[in-house]
Amino acid sequence: MKTIEIRVSGKVQKVGFRNCVKRIASRLNVKGEVMNLSDGTVRAVATGDEIVLEKFLSMIYGCPRAIIRDIEVREIQFSGFPDFSVRRAA
């Protein structure tokens, strides 16, 4: 199990992107959270098995109406989450 932080830029706010990410996470049993940031990007923190997290990242590109320009991923300290939640803008 590991935790990653994901920063997604492009047209990812006001298009249902966070809810799409939550649906993917629920399907794959990934725990964490996703939120809009004031700079127009979306930040997600995801905890799960390494192979499942790779699949999670690849599935994010399939979110309808979102236009992803860039995804930055970095491993961070392990965080245990009870589920995957959509949070208000940070």
Among 18, 23, 29, 43, the active-site one is 18
Burial class for 81, CB neighbours closer than 10 Å (0-12, 13-18, 19+): middle
Three-state secondary structure call for residue 30: coil
Instruction: Tell me if residue 65 is catalytic.
Output: no
Among 7, 36, 43, 87, the active-site one is 36
Instruction: Tell me if residue 19 is catalytic.
Output: no
Distance CA 78, CA 59 (A): 22
Strand partners, 43: 7, 35
Catalytic annotation, residues: 18, 36
